[in-house]
Structure 1
Amino acid sequence: MRGVRAGSIQSAVRDAMTAAGGLECTSIDLGVSVATLSYGTSVDEARPGGLGVNYLDRLGRMHCAAALPLAQHFAMLAGGVYQPLQISGDTATDIHTVTREFSDVLASHAEAHSSASDNPDDYTVQEASAMIKEVDELIAAAARLKAALLPKAGA
């Protein structure tokens, strides 16, 4: 596949095709030639549409892993982040899990700003990394709770 700029839609499309098994597997799955797929990852002002959202949608439906780089790309453009959820079995994460994860965030924050820290006025690299992990776990727990509540609310 072509060399592309990191963070570009071409990069997201390339990563999606890689997640689906590569250019040839994607070609077979979508019924589109390898040349067309390769062309779809180029930056071309004569045909700025690229591969096309319908093909990307179909690829994401066939291979969930292919949807991930696309979701991350568009979330970034919208000023956010995409946080994949590991949902299996019962999705009804209760409020106790959210509370426990929030407690972990508070504990990490307190530890980072305690006298035991190398820099009690700010986060060290290690403390920031640990805090990000705890915040990610809190976000995931809250999102799982929301996912369980949406059908109950008729959404």
Structure 2
Amino acid sequence: MATPSSYKQAREASKQAGARDPIPDFARPLVDRISASGVHVRWGFRQHEWFLVDHLIKKCGIPAMAATAVRAARRTDVDSARYFLPGWRELPPQPAPGTQRPQLRAVGGTSTTDERVAQGQALAAMFREQEQQALNPGHPQETA
């Protein structure tokens, strides 16, 4: 979690800049990633909410939090980053360091789509042959 001294620094920076609720350094990568995705919201968190955001960044990771925020913002108009907090709380923790992605096994056999396409092509060839025979009775049809 963020240390109280980092909040003290943020509060001092706020006073110097004249801003009401500055964005702490630990949250800047999250804010930048969400903003770069085209989601522009207010970040007027109170001090205790910034503690929660810091905890969630460490628990869930910036990529997951940003993706959740962007998906939520696509569904509805969002004015404040507070809207994202419930969704961020429900995110699972990041995998432990060194966790490998599971190996996916290949599924054997032919695709049913491939089979249907082949059947359709055979049927079309049969209809073309029948059509040619109907148009040219008595002439043997060459096969391709």
TM range (shorter): under 0.3
TM-score (norm 2): 0.22
TM-score, length basis structure 1? 0.21
